Chains A and B, each alone.
Chain A
Amino acid sequence: MADVSKLAPGQKVLMQGNEAIARGALEAGVSLAAAYPGNPSSEILQTLADSARSAGIYVEWSTNEKVALESAAAASYAGLRGMASMKQNGVNVAQDFICNLTISGTKGGLVLVTCDDPSGVSSTNEQDARFIARVACLPLLEPATPAECLKLTKLAFELSEQIGNLVVLRGLARLSHTRAGVTPGPLPEAKPRPHWDPNERWFTIPVVPRHQVMLDKLAQAGELIAAAGVNYYDGPVRPELLVIASGSSRLYADEARRLVGAGGRVGILHMGATWPLDQELILEHLARADKILFAEEVDPHIESGVKSIYAQHVRELGLKDFYGQETGHKPPIGELSPSRVAAAMADILGLPWQETDPAYLAKAKAAQALVAPRQVGFCPGCPHRASYWSMKQVLSADGREGIVSGDIGCYTMGVLPTGYERVNAVHCMGSGPGIASGLGKLRSQGFEQPVISVVGDSTFFHAALPALVNARWNNSDYVLVVLDNSATAMTGFQPHPGTGSTAMGQAGTAVDVEQICAGLGLPYTVLDPYDLEATQEALYDALQIGGGLRVLIFRRTCALVQNKRGGHPWRMSVDPQLCRGEDCGCDRFCTRVFRCPGLVFDQATGKTVLDEVVCVGCGVCAQICPAGAIKARPKEATA
């Protein structure tokens, strides 16, 4: 990412939402920023990391989101400003800390950024992380544009310092990666020196009076937010329909109003801060409209809040019609879009609405037929393909209906055909070994199926360790396979404890998976998943042993990382004389079953051919061809 500390104040530039949040943090004088990578939030920290040296701040990839927020809180207690960014799932990881932090309070401005992923485009869920604001009584800001990202980030730090509590800024996948014009402001001149006054103590007891303090802070935040003018109305004085919206949905509502041609009839209440809700402003606008539509993603956060305000004031306001999740005018699942909001508006106002011109739809359908169907899959040469291949072969040969407990990373795709649908369960970071640990304790009650837990190297450090200690302690019987590709590949190759490098590019201390296993007293073997025979033999043996937790480390660098480091050793070719094609004796085993995209079945000749552009030369497919038709020769030494 770019060094955003170098941007000239006052000069408009194109910026991603995530970059704008990073710039906002710099302008607010953040001193410590920490995160665990996760789409769609990753670029925030990467941008800060790439700006860290010139800005003179500390930026780190932490082992997980909870640790990231705790590190940022440390800055706050030392009188500096701190920020932790994460995807929606990360808020759950950090939640325990958040729910205590909100009672103990903060000193220097402390901001938590959650980038939610409606529709779960790059996530295992589409959770609406705004729940944390209600649960922990925290102010919540929701920008709609990159420019607002910058502005509200700065506001979040101010607010946090004024009330002495954490403030949540919520981004969305669309906003994180949208580019729009942003005008940066000045960077702070100087920052205070970190110091923790030993007379200042931060804890949660006595709980009840401190709970009251927490509520008072929230009330104070409400006043400050009202004064900040981040919520505003745009439309006729007495609209026929009032839309109350936040985040990207504000833009959708604006566009929908134009699409259905109801400009003069619809007003939009833009909510830049959605917790606490600005009651006065909401009452004022409820009084002026009889129909109210909610536009927000994903949960009915504003909807339920506004309805409960209305319930207290129903006598003075009279009867109103509310349209939202409960009436089906806002879907309870998935992303919103301008057309979804337009359909709701048209329905309420009795206007005609056709989502898309039928002629255009017909053309789009025709075009769609021309696009080759594509499956999400592992990259050519991906070590995970080889790893799942071996697991599939061995579990089938083992014949006891073995279970694979999955986890979070590229290798989550083990649930898909590219991973031979070999994974039986995936939830959150670290839940794979936890589930395996429980299964491995059902032996005495007759559970005989072997259990494998797969975790990536980054996940291993993030959340697998407590589950491993648990399994070790309680003597759970399963095989842990660490898919060590020396990268956090899913989210963009961020460093992690095992790689030894850090966010700011300095050398850290590499944390060794083997040493951790040895320290836990776990037997482990390191294998190269590209070597199918050795891997399968070791895995089979590990499954037979039983008795306790044992570890296999499948170590092979991510194919994409390897491509950048000089590539793979083999030049591949397929000998058409030897290829058995569709005959009995093969039946397109490589392209139909193994399915590396580097191999293509040529219908015309009935033989497999190598796609030299796609193949990276890992050499694995040569081991699965029954005819020895796939040849691997060492690449010529480049002069």
Chain B
Amino acid sequence: MVPPAASPAPQPTGLERLLAEVINPGLCVACGACLGLCPHLIFLDGQVAAPDACGLTSGRCYGFCPVAQRDVSRESQGPIGPVLGAWQGRATSKDLQGRVQYGGVVSELLALALDQSMVREAVVTAAGLRGTPQGIRVTERTGVLGAAGSVYAGGGALSSLNQALSEDSNHPLAVVGLPCQVQAVQAMKAHPQQPQAARRIHLVIGLFCTMNLPWRGLRKLLARHGVQAPLSRADFPPPPAGIFQAWSNGSYHELPLDQVRALSYPGCAGCPDLTSDGADLSVGACEGKPGWNTILARTHAGAGLLELAAGKGLLELEPAQPASMEHLTQAASDKRKRATAWSEERRHG
């Protein structure tokens, strides 16, 4: 006689599963969504660790993790997601020059949102004293400018967002993040155990991203090339440059791109999103226009903030060039395809 099939036990959705699916296989991309919630997950020198077991079978860490929750089959609205308006632009203010990554649009918009009290606090990423990227919480323009520029390493900044959300206060928050972080913020907002996220996160500025680097690996590679951390600035110049540029202690260095790329998080290979499709505004480099940004306004809040900035003369804006949008769409579509292929291979291989 065949015994009646027992109903399958519900799959655990806590730390244990996060470890099994993401951290132990080395797929964590250090977004920080699982950090700052509880003492079980720690972040030191750019890396997530879980020294002890958590006794719970379900929890937020797993629910927030963009690698665990990644669904490559989910079709967003085209390769670059929903777009209300596509622009190219840059900040006009002189005090941003030399500090921002390209056009300074991200920093200027954030500073404006704080100035206007649209939000009262923002979570950004900046290099610490020794160059280790980390999340920091800023409340005014000087803080925003202190964190300007790209750090090409995972900084776990969403830890600071979780920390802010756990505090007994109600002020609205902004966050700047990579596509994985933007996805995690969406998961936070939808999570039943995190009601304050939807209530308090009022502005999400997403960055474009093809890959990120683990800080420890990058530091070692830099050291091998005789470059001391911290870096004052770094960039991936557009193809066919084939290099990674690093400025440290007033001197300039070039590292071969393939060596840097080889370091990138294995977890980035499965990421389908180039342009942070869940953000209010997404910002990246502008093809053929150094010192400018490409800007995608995705929500009315995002478009409104952009308009306000332009109206105040803080940003110089032009409609995005069709050719560069075409290239961006192609690049985004390629990233989705690569991620799908990678996920397929993992599932079967």
Contact = CB atoms under 8 A, between A and B. Distances in A.
B60 A584 contact: yes
Interface in B2-46: 14, 37-40, 42-45
A586 B51 contact: no
Given A393-B51, A397-B45, A584 B39 contact: no
By DSSP majority rule, is chain A's interface helix, strand, loop, or mixed? Answer: helix
A456 B164 CA distance: 41
A399 interface: yes
Nearest to B166: A585
A544 B215 CA distance: 14
B134 to A, nearest CB: 14
Interface in A602-638: 624-626
A234 B299 CA distance: 101
Given A540-B45, A584-B60, A626 B39 contact: yes
A589 B38 contact: yes
Contact of A584 (B43, B49, B50, B56): B56
Contacts of A540: 44-45
B51 A592 contact: no
B47 A584 contact: no
A394 interface: yes
B50 A626 contact: no
A265 B44 CA distance: 73
Contacts of B131: none
Interface residues of A, number: 24
A534 to B, nearest CB: 14
Contacts of B56: 582, 584, 587
A588 interface: yes
B50 A586 contact: no
A382 B13 CA distance: 36
Given A393-B51, A593-B52, A586 B38 contact: yes
Interface in A524-548: 536, 540, 544
A65 to B, nearest CB: 38
A396 interface: yes
A544 B40 CA distance: 23
Nearest to B59: A584
Nearest to B50: A396
B42 A584 contact: no
A587 B55 contact: yes
A399 B47 contact: yes
B42 A393 contact: yes
B117 interface: no
B201 to A, nearest CB: 18
B193 interface: yes
A584 B45 CA distance: 25
Interface in B40-81: 40, 42-45, 47, 49-52, 54-56, 58-60
Contacts of A585: 37-38, 60, 166
Contacts of A398: 44
A394 B38 CA distance: 17
A217 interface: no
Nearest to A577: B168
Interface string A388-406: 0000111111110000000
A420 B53 CA distance: 12
A420 B43 CA distance: 19
A589 B39 CA distance: 7
Nearest to B36: A626
A625 B40 CA distance: 11
Contacts of A582: 55-56
Contacts of B43: 397
Centre residue among A397, A399, A536, A589 by max chain B CB count within 10 A: A397
B44 A624 contact: no
Contacts of A593: 39, 52
A336 to B, nearest CB: 41
Nearest to A625: B39
Interface in A379-432: 392-399, 420
B39 A396 contact: no
Nearest to B14: A584
A589 B40 contact: yes
A279 B40 CA distance: 67
A626 B35 CA distance: 11
Interface in B229-259: none
A398 B46 CA distance: 10
A397 B38 contact: no
A588 B38 contact: no
A582 B45 CA distance: 29
B49 to A, nearest CB: 4
A397 B47 contact: yes
Contacts of A396: 42, 49-51
A544 B44 CA distance: 12
Contact of B51 (A392, A584, A625): A392
Given A393-B51, A396-B50, A626 B38 contact: yes
Contacts of A584: 14, 37-38, 56, 58-60, 193
Contacts of B49: 396-397, 399
Interface in B179-218: 193
Nearest to B48: A397
B36 to A, nearest CB: 9
Contacts of B44: 393-394, 397-398, 536, 540
B25 to A, nearest CB: 14
Contacts of B166: 585
B276 to A, nearest CB: 27
Contacts of B47: 397, 399
Nearest to A397: B44
Interface string A108-148: 00000000000000000000000000000000000000000
B39 A624 contact: yes
A268 to B, nearest CB: 55
Nearest to A590: B39
Interface string A329-368: 0000000000000000000000000000000000000000
25 contacts: A393-B44, A394-B44, A396-B42, A396-B49, A397-B47, A397-B49, A420-B52, A540-B45, A544-B45, A582-B56, A584-B14, A584-B37, A585-B38, A585-B60, A586-B38, A586-B39, A587-B38, A587-B54, A587-B56, A589-B39, A589-B40, A593-B39, A593-B52, A624-B39, A626-B38
Listed from nearest, the 7 A-B pairs whose CB atoms lie closest are A396-B51, A397-B44, A584-B59, A396-B49, A626-B39, A397-B49, A585-B38
Interface of A: 392-399, 420, 536, 540, 544, 582, 584-589, 592-593, 624-626
Given A582-B55, A585-B166, A588-B55, 14 more contacts: A392-B52, A393-B44, A394-B44, A396-B51, A397-B42, A397-B44, A544-B45, A584-B14, A584-B37, A585-B60, A592-B55, A624-B39, A625-B39, A626-B39
